Structure 1
């Protein structure tokens, strides 16, 4: 996969992952317009992570009524943690459940947790992100989020949730649209007309 004009973002993520491996966990937010290439950066970064950290991936879905904690189910499945049993054991109470989730992910050692399309998150998922973000500093976890920068209600909810995480624990990484030269180069490589 050819990735142009994204070395700065990849270097920032590598630095943040190095911090997390060293015991200073962080939340990284890749923010940009729809189609800017946030997922492409996640894919390229995932390829670089290799054996240095466990990688657990999830995504929010654009459903008319989102399932509560959908991404947490994805992360739990990848971590081989029995989330439905944990929910039953905690009688649906979120704070003890989120604490159990933090323990389960921390037990993996250095970890990269990915939640894509946070702008589509349900309230419970945003609560989980807020919970984890407020406790991540002393972990070996890098929580990598992708979110759109549009003026939607979902983006406003994401901004509020991230605003409740200590500033030193959150790194916002902007993903600008590609330059015209990069678009022409990619189009040429694909045998397409860049105009």
Structure 2
């Protein structure tokens, strides 16, 4: 695993915007205190910028509480990030927790020790009075904020269970009298059309108290700076422009490519991480994605149809699935492009040698019949 840069690179403007949204710049937000949904692709730097934000908030005298959602599939534990947050409050402010629990006994059911002792009884957990529990958490945050302004960060809500999502809805929609700000992060590229978080995001972003902020990719110049930070004295051994082209502005990809400097192929652990996304595809969609990978970063719709050898309806079904799963992205010019350059590279590297040869041969045949679907340079590459 590559090391991370000690300083935040290329995110000064983003950090200032985020700090402004949560009121760390000293300004008062119109309409009162705002909560923030922080979106961004996997590896783009959400956790890193949140770490900076938390440090700035602590330096400003705020209390900072963090809860994490974890990828347990369909068996995610209910309220997991808020269990972590409650544990932290209990350690820092036991008197506040005791006072709130006197009024809202349901709070004790969420305490980590109580949940561990009774965790096997799922029926009891389901019978928990959600209304009382939600009110208890709201009251707890309110009372904690009396000590000092409170910043609550919930990371990776794309993995949140339904109970956690419902609790966040409650907190977003019920105003706080005190200085409480919530920040929830999620992976934008994980939200396929049927993802359970997608509907609630649409509801949350319509709330006047909630602002969505998308953390974009690093610029090419910022990637060059980041490579220098990561490589240090070994920078001469890194092909900087290759990293810029392949990482596509993704900070995690930059780190991995710098760590693997000089290697022709992707590091196996990075390739495996990228290819996990393909496990969500059926056989037809996987065939479409494999075919597209041999074209390079992008491919026209006409050329893909000519090479794939599928009828139009089947091809469209495969494309739609690849697009919904954020593997391919349609462009206005009629081309499909891999959402991440390294993802296309990983898919291509995963093909068998014979598969690659046959795909390139089919591209040559298709382009020889109609060069307008591609380019002369593309024809030469496939022929080579």
Please state which band the TM-score falls in when normalised by the shorter chain: 0.7 to 0.9
What corresponds to 1:95 in structure 2? 131
CA shift, 1:45, in A, is 0.7
Q: 2:72 aligned with 1:69, yes or no?
A: no
Query: Rg larger in 1 or in 2?
Result: 2
CA shift, 1:7, in A, is 2.2
2: CA distance, partners of 1:59 / 1:68: 12
TM-score of the superposition, structure 2-length normalised?
A: 0.46
Q: Is the 8 A contact 1:149 1:155 kept in 2?
A: no
Q: How does 1:8-87 map onto structure 2 within 5 Å?
A: 8-18=13-23, 24-50=32-58, 51-64=60-73, 65-80=75-90, 81=97, 85-87=108-110
Which stretch has the larger CA shift, 32-41 or 78-87? 78-87
2: CA distance, partners of 1:154 / 1:59: 24
Q: Is the 8 A contact 2:142 2:177 kept in 1?
A: no
What corresponds to 1:173 in structure 2? 213
What corresponds to 1:117 in structure 2? 156
Q: Identify if the C-alpha distance between structure 1 residues 142 and 84 changes in structure 2 by more than 3 Å, giving closer, same or farther.
A: closer
Q: Is the 8 A contact 1:33 1:148 kept in 2?
A: yes
TM-score of the superposition, structure 1-length normalised?
A: 0.87
Q: 2:193 aligned with 1:184, yes or no?
A: no
CA shift, 1:180, in A, is 2.0
Unaligned runs of 5+ in 2: 1-5, 91-96, 115-124, 244-384
Q: Is the 8 A contact 1:119 1:154 kept in 2?
A: no
Q: 2:140 aligned with 1:132, yes or no?
A: no
Q: Identify if the C-alpha distance between structure 1 residues 154 and 104 changes in structure 2 by more than 3 Å, giving closer, same or farther.
A: farther
What corresponds to 1:159 in structure 2? 198
RMSD between aligned residues: 2.7
Q: Is the 8 A contact 2:107 2:136 kept in 1?
A: no
2: CA distance, partners of 1:151 / 1:42: 19
CA shift, 1:92, in A, is 0.9
Question: Which of 93, 101, 105 is the matching residue for 2:141?
Answer: 105
Unaligned runs of 5+ in 1: none
1:145-185 deviations in whole A, cap 9, x for unaligned? 11111253598422322333353111111111112221221
Q: Higher strand fraction: Structure 1 or Structure 2?
A: 1
Q: Is the 8 A contact 1:120 1:154 kept in 2?
A: no
2: CA distance, partners of 1:31 / 1:105: 24
2: CA distance, partners of 1:9 / 1:155: 29
How many residues are treated as equivalent by the alignment? Answer: 193
